[in-house]
Amino acid sequence: AEAAAGSSFDFPEVEAGVDETHHVAEGYDADILLRWGDKVFADAPEFDPMNQTAQAQARQFGYNNDYIGFIPLGAAGDRGILVVNHEYTNGELMFPGLARVVDGKVQLGDYTKELVDIEMAAHGGTVIEIRKGENGKWQPVLDSPHNRRITVETEMMLSGPVAGHDRVKTNADPSGTKVFGTLNNCAGGVTPWGTYLMAEENFHGYFRGELPEGHREAQNYARVGVPGGWYNWGNFHDRFDIGKEPNEPNRFGWIVEVDPRDPNSVPKKRTALGRFKHEGCETVVNRDGRVVCYSGDDERFDYVYKFVTSGTFNEADPAANADLLDDGTLYVARFDEDGTVTWLPLVHGEGPLTAENGFESQADVLIETRRAADLLGATKMDRPEDVQPNAQTGRVYCMLTNNTRRKADDVNAANPRAENAFGHIIEITETDGDFASTKSRWEILLKCGDPSIAEVGATFSPATSENGWFGMPDNAAVDAAGRLWVSTDGNSKDKTGRTDGLWAVDTEGEARGTSKLFFRVPIGAEMCGPYFTPDGETLFLAVQHPGDEGLSTFEQPATRWPDFDESLPVRPSVVVVTKQGGGRIG
Applying CB under 6 A, does 368 fall inside the site for ligand FEO?
A: no
Q: If contact means CB under 5 to 8 A according to the sort of partner, which of ligand FEO, Ca ion, none does residue 13 touch?
A: none
Site string for ligand FEO, 77-106 (x = CB under 6 A): ----------x-------------------
Applying CB under 6 A, does 186 fall inside the site for ligand FEO?
A: yes
Q: Which residue is nearest to Ca ion (CB)?
A: 489
Applying CB under 6 A, does 226 fall inside the site for ligand FEO?
A: no
Rounded to whole angstroms, the Cα distance separating 528 from 545 reads: 10
Applying CB under 6 A, does 486 fall inside the site for ligand FEO?
A: no
Which is closer to ligand FEO, CB of 241 or CB of 526? Answer: 526
Out of 119, 129, 474, 500, point to the residue binding Ca ion (CB under 5 A): 474
Site string for Ca ion, 183-202 (x = CB under 5 A): ---x----------------
Please state, as a whole number, how many other Cβ atoms lie within 10 Å of the Cβ of residue 210: 11
Kindly indicate which of the ranges 30-38, 40-48, 116-124, 467-475 contains the residues binding Ca ion, using the contact rule CB under 5 A: 467-475
CB of 311 to ligand FEO, least distance (A): 29
Closest CA to 181 of 140, 226, 220, 237: 237
Residue ranges with strand state E in 133-288: 138-140, 148-150, 155-159, 178-180, 185-190, 196-200, 255-258, 268-270, 282-285
Are the C-beta atoms of residues 539 and 483 closer than 8 Å to each other?
Answer: no
Applying CB under 6 A, does 279 fall inside the site for ligand FEO?
A: yes
Applying CB under 5 A, does 129 fall inside the site for Ca ion?
A: no
Are the C-beta atoms of residues 253 and 200 closer than 8 Å to each other?
Answer: yes
Question: Total number of residues binding ligand FEO (CB under 6 A)?
Answer: 7
SS3 17: coil
Applying CB under 5 A, does 388 fall inside the site for Ca ion?
A: yes
**Site residues for ligand FEO, window 437-476 (CB under 6 A)?**
474
Q: Give backbone dihedrals phi and psi of 551, rounded to 5 degrees, phi first.
A: -90, 70
Between CA 31 and CA 39, with CA 37 as vertex, the angle to 5 degrees is 80
Applying CB under 6 A, does 299 fall inside the site for ligand FEO?
A: no
Q: How, if at all, do strands 268-270 and 155-159 pair?
A: parallel
Rounded to whole angstroms, the Cα distance separating 330 from 292 reads: 10
Q: If contact means CB under 5 to 8 A according to the sort of partner, which of Ca ion, ligand FEO, none does residue 388 touch?
A: Ca ion
Applying CB under 6 A, does 201 fall inside the site for ligand FEO?
A: yes
Rounded to whole angstroms, the Cα distance separating 169 from 155 reads: 15
Which is closer to Ca ion, CB of 52 or CB of 403? Answer: 403
CA-to-CA dists, residue 2 to 5, 458, 539, angstroms:
9, 21, 22
Closest CA to 327 of 156, 157, 155, 162: 162
Q: If contact means CB under 5 to 8 A according to the sort of partner, which of ligand FEO, Ca ion, none does residue 87 touch?
A: ligand FEO
- Give 235's contacts (C-beta < 8 A, 6+ positions apart): 111, 116, 208, 241
Are the C-beta atoms of residues 449 and 469 closer than 8 Å to each other?
Answer: yes
Q: If contact means CB under 5 to 8 A according to the sort of partner, which of Ca ion, ligand FEO, none does residue 245 touch?
A: none
Out of 38, 217, 248, 298, point to the residue binding ligand FEO (CB under 6 A): 298
Interface residues with ligand FEO (CB under 6 A) are: 87, 186, 201, 279, 298, 385, 474
Interface residues with Ca ion (CB under 5 A) are: 186, 386, 388, 474, 476, 489
